[in-house]
């Protein structure tokens, strides 16, 4: 309700500003974002993926699976794999399967068609080539979605459900039907196009993978939040897209929206490019004896933030989320009223570094005493799949009175060494998840009592309006 109320406030402010602009003859170029939508937090179950039950297909005769290609899906398979839609009630042909499956009994009113991948003669371990891709669908901004897929394997088969745009995937390994789900909370401002890929990851002639009943549905916020603990999906890997974090929070646009200050020539901050050792950085590594390492923390990242102290220093350079009276340059994080959030990033450190220091500071001066700092953060995971990176998390509890803004500052200690940071993401979390926090990593803005928020509402609207596309 608070979110609705917040939006209603924005709508009123927008209306007032619009009227002012019209009356004063000022062009309304600033209102490029549609600021108002009707309210929608009722449960909505409309499938936006096309042909998710595979009932539309191109028949190829009784002895072959029907072609899915061009029927709202694009098929990318090699000749080593048989891929198509099978009729589970066809009694005259088994499509080369040891056992022809039935549709899942958990699907209400199932049709008889399912998608099959079956290994042929040389189909072992061809992970990247065998998949079908859905037509692109659009996730609207500021909503909640459940993306669900029924899938099962047979024999040596294994599959993967993957969305390249969402960077979400789930392995399919079980030999009975299970419902696999992605939960997505979309960005507050921008719609997101996405596709779904259903893959045949592994299998020989005795292996197959089946998919059915693909749905992409908007759900109510309450359903989305309760899905973390519920078992409505038997095989769920609960993943979410990030909310709008800091702008350029993955440093793919270099240091845009960030400010570097402090330190001296023995301390520096770079943007490191994947697969490319910058000559200047390499010289630093060679001269200091710091061993160059891989900085690739995420599969989609091409650039990351690199702190280096070439020698022990009195003070290292620091990076801050830029704040500016010009709102177009402001890079504070908005923490909505009553919200519970986790802010996290990946970190890798080396040399003799005393570690990363991170400070979160409310930009409202009345709240400056609430700022929190964590020092000596080390990122040296040996077991994590993220190429040795560790995940560092902070928890933030929103104000009970109004939206607030939070600035971020990072530096490394005074010892010779380095740290790599990337992928600062913000997630809305449940109270159960929030309870996992510790006091040292929690920014608590909840005790604010000021309820005078007319000015703040206007400020919020202006901030949203001035955002260029958010880079995530």
Cβ neighbors of 65 (< 8 A, separation 6 or more) are 82, 83, 84, 85, 86, 95, 116
Q: Using the rule CB under 5 A, which residue among 6, 49, 113, 395 binds Ca ion? A: 113
- Near Ca ion by CB under 5 A, which window of 53-61, 66-74, 130-138, 214-222? 53-61
Per rule CB under 5 A, is residue 301 in the interface with Ca ion? yes
53 is a site residue for Ca ion (CB under 5 A): yes
- Which single residue is written with the structure tokens 């989320």? 321
Q: Work out how close the CB of 13 gets to Ca ion at its nearest, in angstroms, rounded to a whole number.
A: 35
Q: Are 6 and 337 in contact (CB under 8 A)?
A: yes
Asked if 250 is part of the footprint of Ca ion (rule: CB under 5 A), the reply reads: yes
Q: Is 288 helix (H, G, I), strand (E, B) or coil?
A: helix
For Ca ion, the nearest residue by Cβ is 301
Q: Is 142 in the site for Ca ion (CB under 5 A)?
A: no
Taking CB under 5 A as the binding criterion, the range among 162-170, 365-373, 421-429, 437-445 that sits at the site for Ca ion is: 421-429
Least distance to Ca ion, CB of residue 101, Å:
11
| Burial readout 174-200 (b: 16 or more C-beta within 10 A, e: otherwise) | eeebbbbbbbbbbbbebebebbbbbbb
Q: Does residue number 272 form part of the binding site for Ca ion (CB under 5 A)?
A: no
The sign of the CA dihedral 395, 401, 403, 407 is: negative
Question: Token match 């700092």: residue?
Answer: 373
- Output the smallest distance, CB 291 to Ca ion, in A: 21
Identify the sign of the CA torsion 315, 316, 317, 319.
Answer: negative
Among the residue ranges 46-54, 218-226, 344-352, 399-407, the one whose residues contact Ca ion (CB under 5 A): 46-54
Least distance (Å) from Ca ion to the CB of residue 70?
18
Question: Binding of Ca ion at residue 111 (CB under 5 A)?
Answer: yes
Our finding on whether 69 is near Ca ion (CB under 5 A) is no
C-beta of 142 vs 165, nearer to Ca ion: 165
Integer Cα distance of 426 and 345 in angstroms? 9
Helix (H) / strand (E) containing 454: helix 454-466
Query: At closest approach, how far in Å is the CB of 252 from Ca ion?
Result: 5
- Provide, rounded to whole angstroms, the least separation between the CB of residue 189 and Ca ion: 20
Position 296 contacts Ca ion (CB under 5 A): no
Cβ proximity to Ca ion: between 12 and 107 the closer is 107
User: Residue 197 or 226: which CB sits closer to Ca ion?
Assistant: 197
Residue number with CB closer to Ca ion (250 or 460): 250
CB count in 10 Å sphere of residue 438: 7
Name which of 419, 406, 324, 439 is nearest 378 in CA terms. 419
Figure out which of the listed residues 87, 187, 212, 465 binds Ca ion, where binding follows CB under 5 A.
212
Of 146, 330, 422, 465, the one binding Ca ion by CB under 5 A: 422
Distances (CA, A) of 137 to 76, 117, 258, 470: 19, 23, 33, 20
- Applying CB under 5 A, the residues found at the interface with Ca ion are 53-54, 111, 113, 212, 250-251, 301, 303-304, 422
């Amino acid at each position: 309700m608070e979110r609705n109320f917040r939006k209603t406030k924005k709508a009123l402010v927008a209306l007032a500003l619009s009227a002012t602009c019209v009356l004063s003859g000022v062009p309304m170029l600033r209102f490029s974002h549609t600021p108002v939508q009707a309210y929608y937090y009722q449960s909505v179950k409309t499938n936006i993926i096309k042909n998710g039950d595979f009932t539309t297909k191109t028949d190829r005769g009784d002895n072959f699976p029907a072609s899915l290609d061009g029927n709202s899906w694009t098929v990318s398979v090699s000749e080593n794999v048989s891929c198509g839609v099978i009729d589970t009630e066809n009694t005259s042909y088994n499509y080369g399967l040891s056992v022809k499956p039935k549709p899942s009994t958990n699907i209400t009113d199932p049709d008889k068609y399912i998608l099959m991948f079956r290994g042929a003669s040389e189909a072992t371990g061809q992970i990247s080539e065998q998949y079908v891709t859905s037509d692109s669908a659009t996730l609207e901004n500021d909503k909640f979605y459940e993306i669900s897929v029924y899938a099962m394997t047979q024999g040596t088969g294994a599959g993967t459900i993957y969305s390249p745009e969402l960077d979400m995937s789930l392995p399919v390994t079980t030999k009975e039907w299970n419902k696999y789900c992605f939960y997505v909370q979309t960005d507050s401002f921008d719609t997101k196009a996405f596709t779904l890929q259903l893959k045949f990851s592994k299998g020989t002639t005795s292996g197959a993978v089946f998919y059915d009943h693909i749905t992409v549905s908007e759900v109510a916020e309450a359903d989305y939040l309760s899905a973390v603990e519920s078992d409505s999906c038997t095989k769920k890997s609960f993943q979410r897209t990030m909310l709008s974090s800091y702008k350029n929070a993955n440093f793919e646009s270099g240091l845009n929206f960030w400010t570097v200050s402090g330190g001296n020539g023995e301390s520096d901050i770079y943007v490191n490019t994947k697969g490319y050792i910058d000559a200047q950085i390499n010289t630093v590594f060679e001269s200091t004896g710091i061993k160059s390492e891989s900085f690739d923390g995420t599969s989609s990242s091409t650039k990351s933030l690199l702190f280096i102290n070439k020698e022990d220093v009195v003070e290292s350079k620091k990076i801050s989320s830029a704040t500016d009276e010009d709102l177009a340059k402001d890079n504070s994080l908005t923490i909505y009223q009553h919200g519970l959030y986790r802010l996290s990033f990946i970190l890798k450190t080396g040399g003799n570094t005393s570690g990363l220091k991170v400070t979160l500071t409310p930009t409202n001066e009345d709240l400056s005493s609430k700022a929190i700092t964590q020092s000596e953060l080390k990122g040296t995971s040996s077991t994590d799949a993220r190429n040795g990176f560790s995940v560092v998390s902070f928890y933030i509890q929103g104000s009970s009175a109004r939206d607030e803004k939070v600035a971020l500052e990072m530096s490394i200690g005074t010892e010779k060494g380095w740290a790599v940071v990337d992928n600062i993401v913000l997630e809305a979390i449940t109270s159960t998840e929030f309870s996992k926090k510790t006091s040292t990593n929690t920014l608590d803005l909840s005790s604010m009592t000021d309820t005078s928020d007319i000015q703040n509402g206007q400020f919020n609207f202006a901030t949203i309006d001035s955002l260029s596309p958010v880079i995530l």
